[in-house]
Chains A and B, each alone.
Chain A
């Protein structure tokens, strides 16, 4: 147990150091435009992998992920713009002295993901009774309700949205650090979960709910858990989004955003974490690379999607994962992966 804890601490520390070096070395060397695209890719990777947990692994077809994304973004922004300035000067707290950029962002991340997690819990509840198309409609409605609520709440700027969010992540080129950190967390969480018997019960719910029930799987808990974890990470992505672009408005979180995230999960191969990552990068970067085509950009983009769906309907990776080459693996993860 002690050895395990020590090993964990070392590997976490190592990860942090590596991420720090990547962000301080690579970050400043990128053109601002390229950095923007990279950051956007990263945010969509978080969104796709977290939605994959709900859609792909647990099989609950949700298409309202932008709603959780929005809740995270607005909660994080509200903390940084509205709440923090009010409490920072309170004499008895004396926060001003030690609340730095990083602390502030961590608090924003925690608040944003908690708020989105609570929303995920509330949306997860109807998923106990609804299946397939019906659940899709409810989640779609949820995403729109959030957007319209934000649009009509003056406290958060209404249609103008919120601006002047401190670009916390920008000051030391730490934006890549935070984004990569959340990416590592969500991927590691998905993969560890899938490696355990407990995680297999999530797949069981996707495959056949009645049979899962008969095998002693608490399907209710599995579904709500998937929704809560998935939406928490979407919330974290929202906080990062708000603090990178320093301005948000409700129309950034419309149905198109939800649909794009769902497309990433399906295109990558439902249930495949690797697939979600690849598809998220592809679908975010492709429209940017195609910018030189001007008006034909979206035509090429949608044609590419159609061709992919026709030639690989199971998604880029199907149900499979990209794994380390055999000689790098510590041991054979027995029973994993159905590819022959």
Chain B
């Protein structure tokens, strides 16, 4: 179907509207993310950015329209299925498995690569043990890459804030995604950490041949990182283009700062 027409698009939202009761949180949203791109989604508080993420990942069902990921309409699927199609996300307010160690967190992410059923787990078959060993090695390698090796056995809830953010990205990568969605990855970070985060995102993108979409408040992070930006306000896309185009768009400036004529 349309996967052929737009062979480059990994993710596409077609005319998506989401209403909560009478309120249209997102209306007539059209966006596409091509393979290998790094796309930003920005907008003032309450613009509906996280709602867009929740629509894309299957947490919400669109009221109207459809979401296409990797050539498949994903509306009817649950979030865990969407993740298995190759879409991983982080959360605005960190949602780690706090009582578990960093390594265990990443291993849970890697469960999408677990081939063994429950009986195999109960009887500890050699096949399962081998499969589990591979997953553990992969998880350790991933922690290494994310420079989290030293804290592999630390309880996730005990980690410093910046490390928790990084661990959440590591956990998302463990699911082996094609598309990584980052919900405000720089929130609450200091300038040094933000700088490191930018480098990290560039690095993992190269390393894992990822397509990345990120929501961000921090202009510096978005502008320095993204190739293309969508600007969302009141649930509608008011502008899109390169960082340069978006920065100078009067509509964007109005949305962020207000205009003299604005009521």
Contact = CB atoms under 8 A, between A and B. Distances in A.
Contacts of B171: 215
A197 B108 contact: yes
Interface string A1-19: 1001000100000000000
Q: DSSP class of B's interface residues: helix, strand, loop or mixed?
A: helix
A195 interface: yes
A81 B234 CA distance: 70
A66 B144 CA distance: 47
B110 to A, nearest CB: 7
Interface residues of A, number: 33
B99 A319 contact: yes
B64 interface: no
Interface stretch (A27-35, A42-50, A217-225, A292-300): A217-225
B175 interface: yes
Interface in B84-115: 84, 88-89, 91, 95-101, 103-104, 107-112, 114
A189 interface: yes
B175 A200 contact: no
A233 B245 CA distance: 64
Interface stretch (A150-158, A169-177, A201-209, A253-261): A201-209
B128 A335 contact: no
B152 interface: yes
A198 B114 contact: yes
A99 interface: no
Closest 3 pairs between A and B when the two form their complex, measured CB to CB: A207-B97, A216-B83, A211-B95
21 contacts: A192-B122, A193-B122, A197-B110, A197-B114, A198-B117, A200-B100, A203-B100, A203-B108, A207-B96, A207-B97, A207-B99, A208-B96, A208-B98, A212-B97, A213-B83, A215-B80, A215-B83, A215-B172, A215-B174, A219-B80, A338-B153
Given A213-B83, A215-B88, A335-B153, 11 more contacts: A197-B132, A204-B97, A204-B100, A211-B91, A211-B97, A212-B97, A213-B78, A216-B83, A217-B108, A218-B80, A338-B104
Interface of B: 57, 59, 78-81, 83-84, 88-89, 91, 95-101, 103-104, 107-112, 114, 116-118, 120-128, 131-132, 135-136, 152-155, 171-172, 174-175
